[in-house]
A = this chain, B = another copy of it.
């Protein structure tokens, strides 16, 4: 997903276009990796020094709820990245140094559904953690 589509989505759902929202979404589009609320505040400190933490958290949560962002919980923190909708359902490798992701097309949920016929399955999480090639050569 890119900035323009995200702003359209906001407008179509009745949200206002504010400088805070533009800055947050532009940042996440540019970075293309998982960022925490703190990361966002730091990255916007120069451009928007008085954006309050409430604004950052509230908007990240809203964007996540409306699927503009995707969210995970890592190291005791909520992290967000632009929702990627290029393929269908998929999962991610996540670099623990830089936060960049790599798409994984494998998902074992069909087998799981068959193996647990009497369970209600609401959600699932599959993530692979490590070091991406860039960070490996840089290290």
Task: Please report the C-alpha to C-alpha distance between residue A119 and residue B135 in the assembled complex, in whole angstroms.
Answer: 9
Say whether, besides A112-B128, A125-B125, A125-B127, A118 and B106 are in contact (CB < 8 Å).
no
* Interface assignment of A19: CB less than 8 Å from any CB of chain B: no
Residue in B102, B115, B118, B123 whose beta carbon sits within 8 Å of that of A104 in the complex: B115
Name the residue in A118, A126, A128, A129 with the highest tally of chain B Cβ atoms < 10 Å from its Cβ. A128
Query: Which chain A residues in 105-139 approach chain B with CB under 8 Å?
Result: 105-109, 111-112, 115-116, 118-133, 136
Q: B118 contacts A111, CB within 8 Å? A: no
In the complex, chain B residues whose CB is within 8 Å of the CB of A24:
none
* Interface assignment of A56: CB less than 8 Å from any CB of chain B: no
Say whether, besides A73-B73, A73-B76, A76-B73, A121 and B112 are in contact (CB < 8 Å).
no
Q: B130 contacts A122, CB within 8 Å? A: yes
CB nearest to A128 among chain B residues? B124
